[in-house]
Amino acid sequence: MTQPAPAHPPHNDPSAAPRPIVTLDHVTKRFPGVVANDRVAFDLFPGEVHVLLGENGAGKSTLVGMLSGLQTPDEGGILIDHREVRIASPARALELGIGTVFQHSMLVPSLSVADNMALGGPWWSRPDRAGVARRMAQVCADIGVTIDPAAKVGTLSLGEQQQVEIVRALMRGSRVLILDEATAMLTPKGAEDLGALMGRLTRLGIAVVFITHKLNEALSFGNRITVLRLGRKVGEIAPERLAALGPAAATAEIIRLMFGTDAGAPADAAPRRARPGAAPLLVIEGLAVDDPAVPVERVDLAVAPGEILGLAGIDGNGQKQFAEALAGQRPLRAGRITLAGTSLERLDVGARRAHGLRYVTDDRLGEGTIGGFAISLNLLLKQVGESPFWRAGFDQPEAIAAHARRLVGEFDVRTPSIETPIGKLSGGNIQKALLARELSGAAKAVIFAKPTYGLDVNNIRATRQRIREAADRGLAVILISTDLEEVLELSDRIAVMSRGAVVGVVENDAAARGRVGELMSGVTA
Ligand SMILES: Nc1ncnc2c1ncn2[C@@H]1O[C@H](COP(=O)(O)OP(=O)(O)OP(=O)(O)O)[C@@H](O)[C@H]1O
C-alpha cells in the first residue's frame, strides 16, 4: 500500500516542491475610483498560516473576499488544487472547502451550539442530531477544543464562538480557513488561544489565511507573510526566511513593506509649521470616554493655532469615540477641553460650536446631514432657531437662502438648486456642503474625521486643500485619518491612537513614516 503524500513535503527535498492548495493568479478587482487588488499573486499551502498584512484599505478583505465567494475577480484566475474554479457565492466556496470566520460571530446567539451546527447544513431538512453530535465531538477532539453542544451560543465568549465557527467549517469539509481580523475583538488571552488553535489546525494539514493588524500576532502565529499596499502585493516572506530573520529583523522588513518607509515624504507634501512659540489654542487634558467597544483612556493633546495635528491609527481604535466626545456628542468620563482659554467640557454641542469648535463627521449621510432636507437647511442644521435665520421662532427664508447661496458658491457645491434635498447630491458635493457648514463663521478649531474617505480623486484634492486653508487661517486642526499618506501629506505633528489611547506623538519629519508605522503596528521602541 502506498503512503499518502505528506500535506507539505519537506523543503529539503528538491524534487518535492510544495504544491499550493489555492492560487490567486494575478487577480485584479476594481471598484469605482479604486483598484482594490492590482494583479495580486497569492499562493496558499496546506499546513501553513499565511498572514495578510496591510494598512486600512490595502486590499486584504477584497483579496480574501474572492476566496470566500463575496467578490469575483475582474481579471486573473483562481485555482484550487491546480484547477481553475469560479467562486460565485459563499455557498460555492464552502463546497470547494473554503470556510470563513469573521471578527463578528455569524452564529445565532439564541440557539444552542448543536442547533447552530445543524443550521443551514445538509442536516437541516433531515436533522440527524446524533450524527451531528458525533461529528462535532470528533472534530473537537481532532483539533483539541472543548465545546458543550448544549450551551447557548449567546452565553459563550467571542473566542469560544469563533471556535464553534471553526468547528462548523471543518465539519463541512473545509480544508482552507480564512480568519478575517478574527482576533480584533478578542482579549489577549482569546487571541493567544486562537493562535494556538491555528497551530493545531496546520498540523492537520489545514491551510489558514489570517488577516490581522497586529504584527506580534503575525509573527507568533504566522508561517508565511504577504504584505499588501495600495492594492498591490509589495512583498512575501516565506517560512524559511521568516524563521531566519528572527522577530526584530522581520518586524523592520514588514514595516518597511507596509508603510513604504523607503518612499520618503509624499510627493506633494509641503510640511507646514505652526507659528513657532505660539501658545496652544485647543488643549485636551486627561480626556476619557466610556465605551463598551473601545474606551478612550486619558488623552492629552495640545494644538497650536495654524497647526494640523494628524491622528493616525488603524480604524476602530477609539478615534471616533474621541472625536465625538470632543465635539460634545458623547459624555466624557473625565477630562478637560479648553479652546482659546474657555472650558468646553460641560457645554453641549451647540455651545461648543458657538465658541468656535467644529466637527466634520465621517458619517456624512447618517449623522452629518438630513438627506430629505434642502441643502439650505442642512447648511444651518446646527444653528436652527438662531438669528438672523430665525426670528421669534419663525424662519427667515431670505436670510437662509442668501446664506446658502453664498456657501454653495464659496465651497463650489455642485447642485441644481439650494432647495435640492442634500441626499440627492454626490458624496463629494455632500462633503463640500459639510465643509461649508463647519468651516464658515467664527471657527477656531476643527476636527476632521476621515475627511476624504470614499471620495474620488478630485474631491480628495479639494478637501485636502480646504484643510490646509483652515490651518492657514489660524485654526487649530485635528485630522483623524486611517490613510497614512494623507496624514503625512498634511500634518505638522502626528499622534497615533491605539486601543483608545494616544501611544505617541511625533514631529512630521523624515523619520515620521517609520515611527508612525511602528506605533500603529503596536511595536514598542
Ligand atoms: N464594495 C466596495 N465598493 C467600493 N469600494 C470598495 C468596496 N470594497 C472595498 N472597496 C475599496 O477597495 C479598497 C480596498 O479595500 P479592502 O476592504 O479590501 O481593504 P482592507 O485592506 O481589507 O482594509 P481594512 O484593513 O480597513 O479592512 C479600499 O479603497 C476600499 O474603499
* Res 6: pLDDT: 42
54 C-beta closer than 6 A to ligand 1:
yes
More confident of the two residues 214 and 419: 419
Cell numbers representing residue 130 in the block: 446524533
Percentage of the chain lying above the pLDDT 70 cut: 92
491 C-beta closer than 6 A to ligand 1:
no
Phi, psi of 313, deg, nearest 5: 155, 160
Q: Residue 214 C-alpha to ligand 1 middle, in angstroms?
A: 18
Ligand 1 atom, smallest distance to 453 CA: 31
60 C-beta closer than 6 A to ligand 1:
yes
Sign of CA dihedral 63, 318, 507, 218: negative
Q: Do domains 22-259 and 272-356+444-525 have the same CATH topology?
A: yes
Residue nearest to atom 2 of ligand 1 (CA): 31
99 C-beta closer than 6 A to ligand 1:
no
57 C-beta closer than 6 A to ligand 1:
yes
- Structural element, H or E, at residue 43: strand 34-44
Cell numbers representing residue 154 in the block: 449567546
Ranking 127-141, 198-212, 280-294, 389-403 by mean pLDDT, the lowest is 127-141
Q: Residue 340 C-alpha to ligand 1 middle, in angstroms?
A: 39
315 C-beta closer than 6 A to ligand 1:
yes
Q: Residue 31 C-alpha to ligand 1 middle, in angstroms?
A: 9
Strand partners, 22: 44, 80
pTM of the model: 0.74
CB neighbourhood size of 293 (10 A):
10
* Res 366: pLDDT: 84
Q: Residue 478 C-alpha to ligand 1 middle, in angstroms?
A: 24
73 C-beta closer than 6 A to ligand 1:
no
Angstrom distance (rounded) from CA 151 to CA 324: 38
Phi, psi of 112, deg, nearest 5: -75, 165
Ligand 1 atom, smallest distance to 32 CA: 4
70 C-beta closer than 6 A to ligand 1:
no
Residue nearest to atom 16 of ligand 1 (CA): 59
HEC string of 270-321 equals CCCCCCCCCCCCEEEEEEEECCCCCCEEEEEEEECCCCEEEEECCCCCCHHH
Angstrom distance (rounded) from CA 291 to CA 5: 52
Residue nearest to atom 24 of ligand 1 (CA): 56
Residue 158, C-beta contacts closer than 8 angstroms, at least 6 positions apart: 105, 185, 186, 190
Phi, psi of 184, deg, nearest 5: -60, -35
52, 60, 71, 213, best to mutate for ligand 1 pocket (most atoms within 8 Å of CB): 60
Q: Residue 57 C-alpha to ligand 1 middle, in angstroms?
A: 5
Asked whether the beta carbons of 149 and 140 are under 8 A apart, the reply is no
500 C-beta closer than 6 A to ligand 1:
no
pLDDT grade for 96, boundaries at 50, 70 and 90: very high
More confident of the two residues 260 and 110: 110
pLDDT grade for 106, boundaries at 50, 70 and 90: confident
User: Phi-psi region for residue 411, left (φ > 0), alpha (ψ -120 to 50) or beta?
Assistant: alpha
Ranking 381-390, 394-403, 436-445 by mean pLDDT, the lowest is 381-390
CATH class, domain 272-356+444-525, is: alpha beta
How confident is the prediction for the chain on average, in pLDDT?
A: 89
| 22-259 belongs to CATH 3.40.50.300 | yes
Angstrom distance (rounded) from CA 87 to CA 70: 8
31 C-beta closer than 6 A to ligand 1:
yes
456 C-beta closer than 6 A to ligand 1:
no
Angstrom distance (rounded) from CA 518 to CA 38: 26
Instruction: Give yes or no for residue 15 having a pLDDT over 60.
Output: no
Instruction: Give yes or no for residue 419 having a pLDDT over 70.
Output: yes
ipTM: 0.98
CB neighbourhood size of 203 (10 A):
12
CB neighbourhood size of 76 (10 A):
16
316 C-beta closer than 6 A to ligand 1:
no
- Structural element, H or E, at residue 247: helix 239-259
Please report, for the chain, the start and end positions of each structural domain, with discontinuous segments joined by +: 22-259, 272-356+444-525, 368-441
Angstrom distance (rounded) from CA 429 to CA 411: 9
28, 56, 62, best to mutate for ligand 1 pocket (most atoms within 8 Å of CB): 62
Instruction: Give yes or no for residue 271 having a pLDDT over 70.
Output: no
Q: Residue 245 C-alpha to ligand 1 middle, in angstroms?
A: 31
Q: Residue 37 C-alpha to ligand 1 middle, in angstroms?
A: 9
31, 63, 226, best to mutate for ligand 1 pocket (most atoms within 8 Å of CB): 31
Q: Residue 35 C-alpha to ligand 1 middle, in angstroms?
A: 9
User: Which tens digits make up the pLDDT trace of 203-233?
Assistant: 999 999 999 988 889 999 999 999 999 899 9
Residue 332, C-beta contacts closer than 8 angstroms, at least 6 positions apart: 287, 288, 289, 325, 345
Q: Residue 163 C-alpha to ligand 1 middle, in angstroms?
A: 27
Angstrom distance (rounded) from CA 125 to CA 118: 9
452 C-beta closer than 6 A to ligand 1:
no
Residue nearest to atom 11 of ligand 1 (CA): 36
* Res 18: pLDDT: 79
Angstrom distance (rounded) from CA 337 to CA 191: 36
20 C-beta closer than 6 A to ligand 1:
no
Strand partners, 358: 446
pLDDT grade for 268, boundaries at 50, 70 and 90: low
